[in-house]
Amino acid sequence: MSQFETSRISAGTRSVAWTTICFLVLPITIVFWVSVTDRHYLSLPDERISFQYYRNLFTSQAWLSSIWQSFVIAAISTILAVVMGTLCAIGCWRISNRATEVVRMIMLVPIIIPSIVYALGIYQFWVDLRLLDTYTGLIIAHTVTGIPYVVVTVSTSLAGFDVRLEQAALGLGASLGQTLRRVVMPNIMPGIVSGAIFAFIHSWDELVITLFIAGRRVFTLPRRMWDGINEALDPTMAAVAAILVIVTVALLMFAMMRNRNNT
């Protein structure tokens, strides 16, 4: 193949890639324009750019309450998911047999099956346990669905871990707990941090399970946005969506930079 043909194929590949990226990203950018509209409904700005709906977001008690509830639920469920997901991944890595492959597959079930199916199952189970419309019920549900992200990222880090480091620590007299804390954990920390970020984003944005479990007491940010879409097209939702996009992109960029610095 000549150099001209190679460069032409490369240019065509880049063109397709950038076209796909623009197709995926450009609709999201519309949210930022709608969030600064000067009208009283979801629309692009007419005469001027207005930040009134951002002011409404940070002064409304209802929106601030939903933001706080979402943050608390996401933070607690992320901590629990990181602890359990990391321990599960390390346990499967150390044992490493056919049974552990089955365990890994079971851990991935919450993100393999459709969310609506999983939400229906949790709803019926939570009815019997009287956990509907409780913070405990929602935190447990978000923890279970966040564990797979941690298991995947930590397992990926463990796949590149040099087992000889663990063997050297044990050979020098370190206990299993010391080896885990001082040798294994520091080396797989990028995977743990990435899993925590994905688990937090998942809990922060989760809606389907929340609609089934939450009632009058628990009113997370995605649920308030959902109710706003159904009841009134308040442009404040666009301001919330814009902030969510910025926060999500910032967390993902942080994860990418951390992983790059550790490679």
DSSP H helical segments within 96-134, as ranges?
98-107, 109-112, 115-129
Residue with tokens 């080396």: 187
Name the burial class of residue 232, with classes exposed (0-12), middle (13-18) and buried (19+) by CB atoms within 10 angstroms of its CB.
Answer: exposed
Q: What domains does the chain contain, in order, with CATH numbers?
A: 54-261 (1.10.3720.10)
**CA dist 22 to 9, 19, 246, Å?**
20, 5, 17
Residue 232 has pLDDT above 70, yes or no: no
Q: What is the pTM of this model?
A: 0.82
Determine the Cα–Cα distance for residues 238 and 249; give it in Å rounded to an integer. 16
Element of type H or E holding 195: helix 189-205
Instruction: Give 127-158 pLDDT, tens digit per residue.
Output: 888 888 899 999 999 999 999 999 999 998 88
Instruction: Give 37-93 pLDDT, tens digit per residue.
Output: 888 877 888 788 888 888 888 888 988 999 999 999 999 999 999 999 999 998 888
Instruction: Give 175-222 pLDDT, tens digit per residue.
Output: 877 888 888 888 888 889 889 999 998 998 888 999 888 878 888 988
Max intra-chain CA distance, the chain: 73
Least confident stretch, 117-121, 136-140, 182-186, 226-230: 226-230
**CA dist 179 to 103, 145, 169, 174, 176, Å?**
24, 29, 6, 6, 5
